[in-house]
C-alpha cells in the first residue's frame, strides 16, 4: 500500500497549551476501513491530540508531521485539512440558533468540495442520507443543535460525516452523555457511514461504545503518549482492570529508564 492509499498518518506529534506540553510524541497510521480506539483517563491529552490534528488554533503543534492521503497537511488551516479529507466530531457540539441543519450542511459541503458539481445533487444526497441513517427529514428544518438532546447532537455529527465523506474521521468522545438507547443509535450511524475508504480514530473513556463499534486496534493513552497498543480485547481488559495497573507499569518503566 502506497502512502497516498493510507488515509491518515502522523509522526512524533507534540502539542502544547499555553506553553505547557500536553501531547508528548504520538505516531499513528490508520488505513482505510480501520477503526482505532484511543482510550485513557481524564486529563491524559486525548482531546488535545485530536483537536491539534485538526488544526484547532488553541492548540500549539510544537513538532511532528501529519499526512492525509500521503500529503503533508501539517501547516494547513482547518478548512484546508477538511478539503484534504479530515473530519472532527466534537465532544460538545455547539448550538447555532437561527441556522437550519439543511443550510448548515449545504454551507459545509460547499466549503468542502473543490467544484460545484456535488451541490447540484445536494438535496437528493441529503434526503438519501436521512433515510440511510434513519433520521426524520424534519430534522433539516431545525436550528443546529438548538434544543437538541445529547443523542440528537451526536446524530447530527454523524450526518455531517456522511455528507462530507472524509478519508479520516476523528470522533472525540462521541459516546459522552448518551444513554444506552442513544448510544446504540449513534453507533449504528457510525457503522453505517464507515467503509473501506474511511479510517476512524475513536476517542473514548469507556468500553461501552466499543461493544457496538468494533475497533481493529485499541491504544491506551496516558501522560500525553500511547503507552500500549493491542486488539479489541484490550478494551475489555481496561473495562475489567481499569487504568491503574497500566499506570503503575508505565511509572516503573519510567523510573528504571
Query: For the chain, how far is it from start to end, CA to CA, in angstroms?
Result: 36
The per-residue pLDDT for 120 is: 86
Cα gap 152→182, rounded to integer Å: 8
List of domains in the chain? 3-92+167-256 (3.40.50.300)
Residue with cell 485499541: 218
Cα gap 37→216, rounded to integer Å: 8
Note the pTM of the prediction, 2 decimals: 0.92
The torsion region of residue 47 among left (phi > 0), alpha (psi -120 to 50) and beta comes to: alpha
Dig out the grid coordinates for 107 from the structure: 454551507
**CA 142 centroid distance within chain:** 24
- 171, β-bridge pairs: 89, 202
Is the separation of the CB atoms in 9 and 30 below 8 Å?
Answer: yes
Helix axes 244-256, 233-241, angle to 10 degrees: 100
pLDDT digits (tens, 9 = 90+) for 24-38: 999 999 999 999 999
Backbone angles phi, psi at 142, to 5 degrees: -80, 155
The per-residue pLDDT for 3 is: 59
The ranges of the chain with pLDDT < 50 are none
Secondary structure of residue 136 in the 3-state scheme: coil
The per-residue pLDDT for 118 is: 73
- 117, β-bridge pairs: none
The per-residue pLDDT for 256 is: 59
Amino acid at each position: 500500500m502506497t502512502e497516498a492509499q493510507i488515509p491518515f498518518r502522523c509522526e512524533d506529534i507534540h502539542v502544547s497549551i499555553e506553553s505547557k506540553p500536553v501531547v508528548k510524541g504520538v505516531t499513528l497510521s490508520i488505513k482505510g476501513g480501520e477503526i482505532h480506539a484511543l482510550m485513557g483517563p481524564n486529563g491524559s491529552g486525548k482531546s488535545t491530540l485530536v483537536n491539534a490534528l485538526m488544526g484547532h488554533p488553541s492548540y500549539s503543534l510544537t513538532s511532528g508531521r501529519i499526512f492525509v492521503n500521503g500529503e503533508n497537511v501539517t501547516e494547513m488551516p482547518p478548512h484546508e485539512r477538511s478539503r484534504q479529507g479530515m473530519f472532527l466530531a466534537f465532544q460538545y457540539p455547539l448550538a447555532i440558533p437561527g441556522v437550519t441543519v439543511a443550510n448548515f450542511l449545504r454551507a459545509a459541503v460547499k466549503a468542502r468540495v473543490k467544484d460545484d458539481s456535488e451541490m447540484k445533487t445536494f438535496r437528493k444526497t441529503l434526503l438519501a442520507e436521512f433515510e440511510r441513517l434513519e433520521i426524520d427529514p424534519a430534522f433539516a428544518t431545525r436550528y443546529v443543535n438548538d434544543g437538541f438532546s445529547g443523542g440528537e447532537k451526536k446524530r447530527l455529527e454523524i450526518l455531517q460525516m456522511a455528507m462530507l465523506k472524509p478519508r479520516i474521521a476523528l470522533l472525540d468522545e462521541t459516546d459522552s452523555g448518551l444513554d444506552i438507547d442513544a448510544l446504540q443509535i449513534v453507533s449504528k450511524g457510525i457503522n453505517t457511514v464507515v467503509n473501506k475508504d474511511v479510517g476512524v480514530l475513536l476517542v473514548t473513556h469507556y468500553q461501552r461504545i466499543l461493544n457496538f463499534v468494533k475497533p481493529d486496534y485499541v491504544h491506551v493513552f496516558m501522560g500525553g503518549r500511547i503507552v500500549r497498543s493491542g486488539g479489541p480485547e484490550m478494551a475489555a481488559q481496561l473495562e475489567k482492570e481499569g487504568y491503574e495497573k497500566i499506570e503503575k507499569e508505565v511509572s516503573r518503566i519510567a523510573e528504571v529508564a
